C-alpha cells in the first residue's frame, strides 16, 4: 500500500484532484462520503497567502473528517513559495502539494503552474525551497511537459524524487494541450516503472468510468488514480471504481433519493462555509449536474437557481423527490467538461 511520508493510504487510493472554484469544502465533503481517499484544497497563490488575501486564506479551511488532506500552492518565486509553505503548515494539513500543472493563461503568464515546465531547474529550486520550509511531506502535481517537443516528465520525476518529493501526480497531457485531445498515460507508466522511482506515482486524466480505471491500473501500474472532472456532479465515481476493482461488478446508477440527499448536504455545507447569500448562489451551478437526465427538469431547475432561501430550495428538492419517485436512472457516460471554461480564474 502506498505511503506519502508517514501517511498510509489504502491499496490503490483514489484522489480528488484540486480544482479551482470546484473542490471547496462542501464539494469535498460529498466526495469523501463516496470514497475519495485523499483530497486537496483548491490551489492557492503563494503570493496571495503572503499578502493575506482573504480569498487565498479562506482556501486553507478544512475539517478533520477530510483527512488525510493536502494544501496545494503555486507560484514562481522561491521566497514566496517557502513562506507560503510555512503558512500552510500553521493550519496543520497532512501534506503540502505544489501545482506545476495548471495550464490557464493567467497562471502560466506569471511563470507559475504549468509555466514552470519551461524551466526545470526553476521547478527544482522552487520545490527544494518548499521542502526546506516545512516538516510536512511535499508532493507535486504536474504534466508531461510544456509541449510535444518537451515531454520531460521522466527527468522531472527523478530530479524531484532526488530532492525529497514524497509523491507525484501526473496529468497525461502537455500544457499546450490544455484539456484537448486524449490524455496519454504512456509516459506516466514509464515513470512508474522506472526502477529508480520509489515514491508513489498517481495517474490523472480522462478517467470517466470504473472500467477505464481498472484498465489503466493494470496497464500502467500506477499506485493510484487522481480524479477531477469526472467527479463534478458525480461524486459516486469513487465508490463505483472501488466496487468494480474489488468485485468486477458495475454498481447501479445512484437513485433519485441519493442525488437529492447529496444536493441537500452540498447546499447545507455551502451555506455553512460561505454564508447564506454566497452559499446559495454558488450552489446553483451544481443542480444541473446532480439532476442531469430527469425528463422535464427545466421547470424545477429554474426554481432552484432563482430561489433565495434554504427553506424554499429544500421544498423544491422535496417536490422533485415526489414528482420523480418512480423514475429510474440509467447509467450514462460521464461528460468530462473543461471546467476552466465553466469556472474561469
Which residues are catalytic, by number?
A: 102
Distance, in Å, from the CA atom of 153 to the CA atom of 138, rounded to the nearest integer, reads: 18
Distance, in Å, from the CA atom of 208 to the CA atom of 11, rounded to the nearest integer, reads: 20
Q: Which of 79, 76, 72, 63 is nearest to 30 (CA)?
A: 63
Supply 221's cell numbers.
Answer: 501500474
Q: Which of 18, 24, 116, 110 is nearest to 70 (CA)?
A: 18
Q: Which of 100, 134, 132 is nearest to 117 (CA)?
A: 100
Distance, in Å, from the CA atom of 39 to the CA atom of 93, rounded to the nearest integer, reads: 11
Distance, in Å, from the CA atom of 148 to the CA atom of 187, rounded to the nearest integer, reads: 12
Residue with cell 482556501: 59
Whether 276 and 256 have beta carbons less than 8 Å apart is answered as no
Give the distance from CA 227 to its chain's centroid: 6
Amino acid at each position: 500500500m502506498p505511503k506519502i511520508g508517514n501517511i498510509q493510504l489504502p491499496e490503490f487510493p483514489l484522489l480528488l484532484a484540486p480544482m479551482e472554484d470546484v473542490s471547496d469544502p462542501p464539494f469535498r465533503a460529498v466526495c469523501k462520503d463516496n470514497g475519495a481517499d485523499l483530497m486537496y484544497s483548491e490551489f492557492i497563490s503563494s503570493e496571495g497567502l503572503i499578502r493575506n488575501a482573504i480569498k487565498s486564506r479562506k482556501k486553507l479551511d478544512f475539517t478533520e473528517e477530510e483527512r488525510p488532506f493536502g494544501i496545494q500552492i503555486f507560484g514562481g518565486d522561491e521566497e514566496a513559495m517557502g513562506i507560503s509553505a510555512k503558512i500552510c503548515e500553521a493550519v496543520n494539513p497532512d501534506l503540502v502539494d505544489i501545482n506545476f500543472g495548471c495550464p490557464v493563461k493567467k497562471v502560466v503568464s506569471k511563470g507559475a503552474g504549468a509555466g514552470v515546465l519551461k524551466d526545470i531547474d526553476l521547478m527544482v529550486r522552487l520545490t527544494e525551497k518548499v521542502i526546506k520550509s516545512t516538516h510536512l511531506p511535499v508532493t507535486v502535481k504536474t504534466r508531461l511537459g510544456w509541449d510535444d517537443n518537451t515531454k520531460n516528465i521522466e527527468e522531472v520525476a527523478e530530479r524531484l524524487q532526488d530532492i525529497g518529493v514524497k509523491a507525484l501526480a501526473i496529468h497525461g497531457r502537455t500544457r499546450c494541450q490544455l484539456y484537448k485531445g486524449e490524455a496519454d498515460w504512456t509516459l506516466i507508466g514509464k515513470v512508474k516503472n522506472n526502477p529508480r522511482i520509489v515514491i508513489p506515482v498517481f495517474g490523472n486524466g480522462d478517467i470517466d468510468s470504473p472500467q477505464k480505471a481498472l484498465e489503466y491500473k493494470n496497464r500502467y501500474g500506477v499506485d493510484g488514480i487522481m480524479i477531477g472532472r469526472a467527479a463534478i456532479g458525480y461524486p459516486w465515481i469513487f465508490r463505483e471504481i472501488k466496487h468494480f476493482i474489488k468485485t468486477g461488478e458495475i454498481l447501479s446508477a445512484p437513485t433519485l433519493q441519493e442525488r437529492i440527499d447529496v444536493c441537500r448536504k452540498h447546499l447545507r455545507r455551502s451555506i455553512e462555509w460561505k454564508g447564506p447569500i454566497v452559499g446559495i448562489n454558488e450552489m446553483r451551478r451544481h443542480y444541473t449536474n446532480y439532476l442531469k437526465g430527469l425528463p422535464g427538469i427545466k421547470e424545477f431547475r429554474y426554481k432552484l437557481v432563482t430561489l433565495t432561501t434554504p427553506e424554499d430550495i429544500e421544498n423544491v428538492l422535496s417536490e422533485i423527490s415526489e414528482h420523480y419517485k418512480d423514475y429510474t436512472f440509467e447509467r450514462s457516460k460521464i461528460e468530462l467538461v473543461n471546467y476552466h471554461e465553466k469556472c474561469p480564474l
